[in-house]
Amino acid sequence: MDQGSPYGVSPGYIVPYAIRPVRPGRGFGIAGLVLGIIGAVYAFVLLTTQVAQGTFITDPELAAGFVPLGILIAVFGLLSVVFSVISGAKGCRSGARAAGLALGIETLVISGLTMFCALVGFLLFG
């Protein structure tokens, strides 16, 4: 018997609600969303810098500076798409998965356009 209680041992705390199970693959969806956001921000900065410079294609040295950043953006976009697809394969149908997939594809398109413009600049003016 419990010495602190005149009624004996208390049964303990009973949870008044059911605990929801964790959906598998949700972490991959969130990781895809975060990588998609990072890639989209870098892609936006790269795209606005290209437009502001105006001489991106005609200046091969400037175009060469954008190639490593374009590769980095492509890596972020590719990882975002991969993590979002893995999340979908595990059965998670969250909005984070869909947004990560959309942002990853958008990031891949922008980085592809950037690398294509750099290649055209090298071939025509380099």
pLDDT band for 83, please (50, 70, 90 cuts).
very high
pLDDT of residue 19: 73
* CA distance linking residue 96 with residue 34, whole number of Å: 9
Q: Which backbone phi and psi does 83 adopt, to 5 degrees?
A: -65, -35
Q: Measured between alpha carbons, how far apart are the two ends of the chain, in Å?
A: 89
pLDDT in tens, 4-27: 556 665 566 666 677 777 778 889
